[in-house]
Structure 1
């Protein structure tokens, strides 16, 4: 059992909120983690899996059924399959308000689970469970293996590369044929797969709805709807552009990333590490991987952005808290990084005191008085906690 870094935080939420939502993509380990937490909760546990017809039938009259277990912690898995349940949960919580009454597991964001945010406002705290972070698996895997296979447990823990690839293939097929349509994206599986693959080949590029729309034969609002669904299903990340600089002409479109690197590599037709090292997507894959690892562990009050001007000044990742720039980060796949003129200007524009170039394997040193070079493992363990304070 690999300990998940959000375990203690979840136990704290369960001890305070009547309901806790544990959200994330399918097969990321939500059910496993909830059963582990159940062993630590001083309550009897009732577990309902709404993919089982027998458990779904129990909630045909949810009020009558759930009232029998008012002193239990009721775990409801795949809760997005029954969105009309949320108003009932609100009423039950208000009748008998105790911490830890419900744990709701879902494969979509609250925005896609209709009525949840409104019905349970003030009664629920949501937490995302991401695929394994590098910091969680360093004792078991080399970083290159985690980067190439991605963080989904079955893909990463598969005994062979062939089995890992087969799992990722099945995961993608399941999402395009079943999961995304069930969440409300009523598009043919072929169209969804084409869109997802196109995003993979545009990893880290500026979002351009018109270009994708023309390629797919649909309108720009339609591809934006596709992207929103993928984002709310925890498959895609939109990195917003920094825009608070009135003196510069800034790029405003977000950058788009496939969140899991293993899925990215499969969609791009990259099936081994040697192939990745010679592929045009190498730098974009590394950039997306670093951003995802940081995003999973960073404090939620820190905003992640990128900075780019129309003159070419650029910084891959900007960390901000409110109006204060905490750090500027350049992400490079190289063992001997050089400080570019564009990055140096970005540091001056943003006025950040902590600045980094993150590489796969560099030692920890100052490139000049303002910019530190280090590898990803050192950054996550040593410098990110300093930035957050």
Structure 2
């Protein structure tokens, strides 16, 4: 099994908080990790699956269960299926605040689940478990090319062949379209609309969000399409990268960019069946861009936020790393062996008053392009540069 870097942080949180909530998309390994964490506690483990009718019946009187197992670590799997459980957790935790009592897993953002209104501030630590990142894959002997093509879902990444990966991804996407999104959020969602919307997003990966354009193409209102976008983001399927416009005097684009978070799902949605087809496909550039952004997001320091920057005059930067309101670095993401920069990128450096710039490429070379700009492979950037910014 691939070792997850998040495990160390989770062990610390279990020693400090009465409960931790492990959030992330389905099939990312939350249940496996939660059971492992529970077994490492010096307590018995009670595992309850809130998608299992028998376990749901046992939790009809959740307060009684919590009272009977005060000395156990209780794992509650897929808590978004029973949002009322959050309300019942609050008094149980307040009555007995010993650390490591509960491990919750969920496949949907709590903010979008109907009924989750009780404040658990100070009682529960919310942590996102994303798909396996590049450094975790490399530590397990899986190369960057395979990780980029297949993405970070464990079953997809470790498939014996690209064909096996493609079959897994196809069924995963179908399950989300036909069943999972509606179950996660408790809404009656249109399968046809979800399918068409997801394919449109995949073909325009990294595009600037234009709600009305999508709405017209799909025959729905702007409000409806924004709700579906929020559901996909709340299910950890897409990422909205906000535009940076703080302390900027020029006219800039303010709408977010939208990316399919997992590169493997992006490739399946675009019908790319094996890694040899990817370099020849029209989306290869946007795929590499989204892949790099996702890896940086997972491994960046907590104080760092991520944006893109684009003016109406065409000056653009794929990624701006920011601490508070201070831009730290500007990053261009290039699928090229000998990358070059446009005049517009240097205008960005002047606009943002940034002194450090990077071009991230698929290769392994690391060298200075000019006095401000370094060309770097992704692995080198993640291991040696990102944490020092």
TM-score range, shorter chain: over 0.9
For residues 65 and 230 of structure 2, the distance between their equivalents in structure 1, rounded to whole angstroms, comes to 35
Shifted more, 351-360 versus 117-126: the winner is 117-126
Q: Is this contact kept in 2: 1:73–1:103, CA < 8 A? A: yes
Structure 1 position 137, deviation (Å): 0.9
Aligned pair 1:243/2:245, yes or no?
Answer: yes
Q: Is this contact kept in 1: 2:50–2:79, CA < 8 A? A: yes
Q: Is this contact kept in 2: 1:362–1:373, CA < 8 A? A: no
Q: Is this contact kept in 1: 2:305–2:322, CA < 8 A? A: yes
Paired residue for 1:52?
52
SS of corresponding position for 1:327: strand
Structure 1 position 245, deviation (Å): 3.4
Q: Is this contact kept in 2: 1:185–1:226, CA < 8 A? A: no
Structure 1 position 113, deviation (Å): 3.1
For residues 211 and 113 of structure 1, the distance between their equivalents in structure 2, rounded to whole angstroms, comes to 27
Paired residue for 2:271?
269
Paired residue for 1:4?
4
Q: Is this contact kept in 1: 2:248–2:351, CA < 8 A? A: no
Structure 1 position 300, deviation (Å): 2.7
Paired residue for 2:70?
70
Paired residue for 2:158?
157
Aligned pair 1:135/2:135, yes or no?
Answer: yes
- Where do 1:28-107 residues align within 5 Å? 28-107=28-107
SS of corresponding position for 2:126: strand
Return the TM-score normalized by structure 1.
Answer: 0.97
Structure 1 position 246, deviation (Å): 3.9
Paired residue for 1:121?
121
Paired residue for 2:255?
253
Structure 1 position 345, deviation (Å): 1.0
Aligned pair 1:24/2:52, yes or no?
Answer: no
For residues 128 and 32 of structure 2, the distance between their equivalents in structure 1, rounded to whole angstroms, comes to 14
For residues 60 and 301 of structure 1, the distance between their equivalents in structure 2, rounded to whole angstroms, comes to 41
For residues 7 and 117 of structure 2, the distance between their equivalents in structure 1, rounded to whole angstroms, comes to 23
Structure 1 position 244, deviation (Å): 1.2
Q: Is this contact kept in 2: 1:154–1:167, CA < 8 A? A: yes
Please point out which of 357, 360, 365 is paired with 1:358: 360
Q: Is this contact kept in 2: 1:315–1:329, CA < 8 A? A: yes
Paired residue for 1:169?
170
Deviations 1:25-65 (A, max 9, x none): 00000011112212321222111111221111100111112
Structure 1 position 362, deviation (Å): 4.2
SS of corresponding position for 2:327: strand
Structure 1 position 274, deviation (Å): 2.4
Structure 2 stretches of 5 or more lacking a match? none
Structure 1 position 201, deviation (Å): 0.5
Shifted more, 124-133 versus 111-120: the winner is 111-120
For residues 354 and 241 of structure 2, the distance between their equivalents in structure 1, rounded to whole angstroms, comes to 19
For residues 172 and 137 of structure 2, the distance between their equivalents in structure 1, rounded to whole angstroms, comes to 21
Paired residue for 1:190?
192
Structure 1 position 9, deviation (Å): 0.4
Deviations 1:281-316 (A, max 9, x none): 110000000000010111233110000000000010
Structure 1 position 190, deviation (Å): 1.6
Q: Is this contact kept in 1: 2:35–2:75, CA < 8 A? A: no
CA RMSD of aligned residues (A): 1.2
Structure 1 position 276, deviation (Å): 1.5
Structure 1 stretches of 5 or more lacking a match? none
For residues 246 and 341 of structure 1, the distance between their equivalents in structure 2, rounded to whole angstroms, comes to 18
Q: Is this contact kept in 2: 1:22–1:104, CA < 8 A? A: yes
Instruction: Count residues with an aligned counterpart.
Output: 387
Q: Is this contact kept in 2: 1:336–1:362, CA < 8 A? A: no
Runs of 4+ in 1 over 4 A off after TM superposition: none
Structure 1 position 117, deviation (Å): 5.8
Return the TM-score normalized by structure 2.
Answer: 0.97
Structure 1 position 80, deviation (Å): 0.7
Paired residue for 2:311?
309
Distance of aligned partners of 1:294 and 1:157 in 2 relative to their CA distance in 1, 3 Å threshold: same
Q: Is this contact kept in 2: 1:22–1:105, CA < 8 A? A: yes
Paired residue for 1:370?
372
SS of corresponding position for 1:3: coil
